[in-house]
Amino acid sequence: QKEVEQNSGPLSVPEGAIASLNCTYSDRGSQSFFWYRQYSGKSPELIMSIYSNGDKEDGRFTAQLNKASQYVSLLIRDSQPSDSATYLCAVKKGTGGSYIPTFGRGTSLIVHP
């Protein structure tokens, strides 16, 4: 079992809908969680980080973390075709300067007009 699991997709949603991307992780000691967006042929860019249980909102994006269930999700409201990309979930095991991030393989999102 990979340490960080994501459904590879593709997840297809219509424009204006809510896209829900999910990620589970196996290490209960994980403390930091990140969502990256990667357009085809481009490098990843960080869009959200979350460290404590609950929801964190930033514009159209909401990250949700449930450490008891070892589950982190990303909701994209009012999805746009420009949101079509691969979304990578990353989990950091250590604290402070100990930086060993583990990435999921990513979920491909397609937003169709």
Partner 1 sequence: KAGVTQTPRYLIKTRGQQVTLSCSPISGHRSVSWYQQTPGQGLQFLFEYFSETQRNKGNFPGRFSGRQFSNSRSEMNVSTLELGDSALYLCASSPGQGAVNQAFFGQGTRLTVV
Q: How far apart are CB 97 and partner 1 at their closest, in Å?
A: 4
With tokens 């589950």, the residue in question is: 71
Look up residue 106 and give its amino acid: G
Q: For residue 57, how far is the Cα from the chain centroid?
A: 13
Residue 30: strand, helix, or coil: coil
Least gap, CB of 43 to partner 1 (angstroms): 4
Q: Does 104 bind partner 1 (CB under 8 A)?
A: yes
Q: From residue 41 to residue 80, what is the string marking binding to partner 1 with x (rule CB under 8 A)?
A: -xxxxx--x-------------------------------
Per rule CB under 8 A, is residue 106 in the interface with partner 1? Answer: yes
